[in-house]
Amino acid sequence: MRVMCVAAARPNFMKIAPIVAALDAGGHESILVHTGQHYDPAMSDVFFDELGLRAPDHHLGVGSGTHGEVTARVLVAFEQLLVDESPDLTVVVGDVNSTLACALASAKAGVPVAHVEAGLRSRDWAMPEEVNRVVVDRVSDLLFASSADAVVNLKDEGYRPDQVHLVGNVMIDTLRSNVERARERDVAARLGIEGRYGVVTLHRPSNVDDPDVFEPMIGALSEISADVPLIFPAHPRTVGRLAGLELPSTFVVVEPLGYLDMVGLLANAAIVLTDSGGIQEETSVLGVPCLTLRDNTERPITVDEGTNRVVGTRPEDIVLNAKLTLAEPPIPRCPALWDGRAAQRIVEVISAGLPTKRPTELP
Ligand code: UD1
């Protein structure tokens, strides 16, 4: 089968890498497409280098813009690529704007779509990714879920059982094959931090774009850093928001890190405070306590069967939960099937054949 594999933004690269490898090993022809939604070397190239992902077969170079602009540019460029390549299947991962655009272009062109990480729901329509997740699932033929709760969501929404496959977590495939060499990188020491430390990441528009939300959060994190020094690899979106804010010397802001440095930093952390979805999953597998600075999560499995606590964005809640968690860390647990073999299961399903479209039975 000729399979379009879409990569686009930082969290996609580690998800698509094991799928491309498993497709190639399974005798399929993968066509790797980078939409260019993320383009800074630290947000893109470093992942290709470190994950051994080959250079994309096509780079659409769409760059940044509003949601509409990015989605539209990818939609137009990917539609043409479908004409040029006439693939048998498009595989999209995650929930970024490029995921939506490529799924939509494929569905309109009559190319079957497989969505990896299907069925996650935050039920928060103010979150752009939630819109993307729901629409991508709706136009997909094959829905690959990483956890049992996602399967329940899809069944509740009326998807047919033959479309839905619980395969595990491809991001964890990549984590498991890289964690040992990542641990050796001694990132904290390189950044001048000795002993126990925590890690912060914040980039969601709902947290960083409004100073009335962002600045009190930074105040809470500064307070926590008096107990445990915090390292904050800041996303480009967040860097601008930090300008002019006074931070204590125990709260260290650094450039975005490459994959291995980030995994190494997380693996050896005492606590992680984040609004990222992927980091909730990675910390669960690493057994590192995670506080999610949001009011909801589309990944409740990381709370039920991992090390995550969803604590909201109020400064007093963040400080209190950090103290409680440092005093009594959760016992590490790992969700079922997050065992490093998700991509292999996906390719087994794909190799068995695509479901026939039966539009009258679709939800
Ligand atoms: C996107 C995803 C989000 C994911 C995040 C990971 C959507 C809706 N959001 O958010 O789900 O968690 O990626 O990073 O797709 N920028 C750079 N260099 C880059 C890329 C972006 O400087 O290489 C800056 C630009 O100013 C850009 C801004 O970051 O406008 C936001 O980028 P964008 O891709 O729109 O969204 P993210 O916040 O990165």
State mean pLDDT over 305-334: 97
Substitution site in 96, 130, 297 for ligand 1 pocket (most atoms within 8 Å of beta carbon): 96
The pLDDT, as a whole number, for residue 358 is 54
**Residue 116's beta-bridge partner residues?**
93, 144
In whole angstroms, give the CA distance from residue 58 to residue 87. 14
The pLDDT, as a whole number, for residue 30 is 98
Question: How much of the chain, in percent, has pLDDT values that exceed 70?
Answer: 98
The pLDDT, as a whole number, for residue 354 is 84
Residue 117 has pLDDT above 60, yes or no: yes
Q: Whose CA is nearest to atom 30 of ligand 1?
A: 64
pLDDT digits (tens, 9 = 90+) for 38-47: 999 999 999 9
Q: Whose CA is nearest to atom 32 of ligand 1?
A: 64
**What tokens were used for 357?**
């479209």
Q: Which of 1-15, 188-202, 346-360 has the lowest mean pLDDT?
A: 346-360
CA 302 to ligand 1 centroid distance, Å: 24
pLDDT digits (tens, 9 = 90+) for 76-87: 999 999 999 999
Residue 194 has pLDDT above 50, yes or no: yes
The pLDDT, as a whole number, for residue 223 is 98
For residue 161, count other CB atoms closer than 10 A to its CB.
9
pLDDT digits (tens, 9 = 90+) for 248-283: 999 999 999 999 999 999 999 999 999 999 999 999
State mean pLDDT over 99-120: 98
Q: Does the beta carbon of 206 lie inside 6 Å of ligand 1?
A: no
| Ranges assigned E (strand) in 258-359 | 271-274, 290-292, 308-310
Q: Whose CA is nearest to atom 12 of ligand 1?
A: 276
The pLDDT, as a whole number, for residue 328 is 96
**Nearest ligand 1 atom to alpha carbon 43:** 23
Exposure string for 107-121, b = 16+ CB within 10 A, e = fewer: beeebbbbbbbbbbb
Residue 67 known to be catalytic: no
Catalytic residue among 28, 34, 38, 203: 203
**What tokens were used for 86?**
């006439």
Check: pTM over 0.85? Answer yes or no.
Answer: yes
Residue 360 has pLDDT above 70, yes or no: no
Closest listed residue to residue 223, CA positions, set 331, 316, 328, 86: 316
**What tokens were used for 244?**
């002019």
Pairing relationship of beta strands 113-116 and 29-34 according to DSSP bridges: unpaired
**Residue 124's beta-bridge partner residues?**
none
pLDDT digits (tens, 9 = 90+) for 167-187: 999 999 999 999 999 999 999
The pLDDT, as a whole number, for residue 362 is 54
